[in-house]
Homo-oligomer: A and B are copies of this chain.
Amino acid sequence: MSFTGDEYSKRTLDFVQRLQGLTDYEQICALIMKELDWFGFSCVTSFSIPGPGCHLKDSIWLNNRPAEYVERYEEKNYVIHDPVVKELRRTMTPYSWGDVRERRDLKKSERTIIDEGREFGAHDGFIIPIVSLSGSMALFSPCGRDPDLSPRARAALEIIGIYSHHALTRALIRRQREEVVHTPLTPREREIMQWVAVGKTDEEIADILSISTTTVTSHVENAKQKLDAFRRTYAVVQAIRLGEISL
């Protein structure tokens, strides 16, 4: 190994310090890619696991792998079958593609998916699982021809991955908030939506808060309007997304 442990740690802290100053999404991406390059990673992908009915495209936070690769990945719905992604459900600690490829219980088709990456110059990659308390999973995955995957590098990469993810989230949230001009709910509306979110009927909420049912209904309707929702189910989802109520 040509780098000392301290080289890794110093770089990592420097990286974080530089990233702290950035708020612009594109600048953050550029800095992340530059840093990963030092480790021998030429590409990076970060996305949250899309649910059914959700396209992978809409879940991607950061990606500079070839467009054709991503298209094929999306087209063949690899995100469901890719063993590297499936591994996310087993473990919550970082691992490399190689770690997965070595497993005995892989089907032939699964091995194919990993190997296809090679055609695009990605011989090995590293997966940093990202969890959120809401239970949704995401991953941050740099890859390249011959990346540094030594233990010390892995520790540094986990920091880089988690911190990058955090910085990207911050930038995306900022952008989201700027885009969505969202009228904030009043405290009462928030309180009532919180009850709606746990499945209480207007009558039950009225009982809990000692107000009339019609009042509850009108608060919900106001909130729906502010949240741009026709149905209260979506209003709740929007309220969660916009941070008006929490899970």
- Residues in chain A within 8 A of chain B (CB atoms): 5-6, 8-10, 12-14, 16-17, 20, 48-54, 59, 92-94, 130-137, 151-152, 155-156, 158-159, 162-163, 166, 169-170, 172-174, 176, 187, 190-191, 194-201, 229-237, 240-247
Contacts and interface: CB of A to CB of B under 8 A. Distances in A.
B194 A53 contact: yes
Task: Report the 6 A-B pairs with minimum CB-CB distance, sorted nearest first.
Answer: A199-B234, A199-B231, A135-B243, A9-B13, A9-B9, A52-B191
**How many copies of the chain does the oligomer comprise?**
2
A134 B81 CA distance: 26
Contact of A196 (B16, B151, B158, B233): B233
Nearest to A244: B51
A135 B134 CA distance: 11
A92 B199 contact: no
Interface centre among A10, A166, A190, A241 (most CB of B within 10 A): A166
A241 B135 contact: yes
